[in-house]
Amino acid sequence: MKQMLVKIAVVGIGGTITAYFNALLVPVVLLAAVMVMDYISGIISAWKDGCLNSRIGVVGIVKKVCYLLAIGVAIVTDLVISQALAKIGVDFTSSYLFGIIVTIWFVVNELISILENVNKIGVPLPPFLIKVIKKLKDTVENTNIQEEK
């Protein structure tokens, strides 16, 4: 009975979060997948180079946790802007704009890192793939959000 209640609670909380953050669900799940792939490919690359180090591995995990913190800040920024605009009567229909942009930017960075790790391991990569990933990064970095000067 206790296990059933825990399962119901987890599913309920998970369902609520999924419904609330529906726009971010796919990018965040994708980010989680590429973070795991990057970590594994980094370990293999370091092992192959003979420089496998647990301290560097922990730093890698901390870095990935900080990615999630940055996404959280972006989501809070989206919510604050949305609430502020609603208070002054402006309808802001684009939800989680910053959250999605930041998440995709991290996904692209992770993809680049995976390609670098795979290349260090000795896997030949097609040049077009590297160009496409770098173009994605440039596109995400050059979105139409004006930078403060």
Residue 108 · residue 133 · CB < 8 Å? yes
Using a cut of 0.75, tell me whether the model's pTM lies above it.
no
Helices (runs of H) and strands (runs of E) counted in the chain: 5, 0
Residue type, 122: G
What is the DSSP code string of 111-133? HHHHHHHHHHHT----HHHHHHH
Pair of tokens at residue 138:
């440039």
Residue 133 CB-half CA count within 13 A = 16
Dihedral angle over CA of 138, 141, 145, 146, nearest 10: -90
Residue 46 · residue 52 · CB < 8 Å? yes
Residue type, 52: L
Chain segment 54-82, per-residue pLDDT in tens? 999 999 999 999 999 999 999 899 888 88
Residue pLDDT tens, the chain, 149 long: 665 565 566 555 655 555 556 667 788 889 999 999 999 999 999 999 999 889 999 999 999 999 999 999 998 998 888 888 888 888 776 667 888 888 888 988 898 889 889 988 999 888 888 788 777 777 766 765 554 44
Residue type, 127: P
CA distance 91 to 4: 42
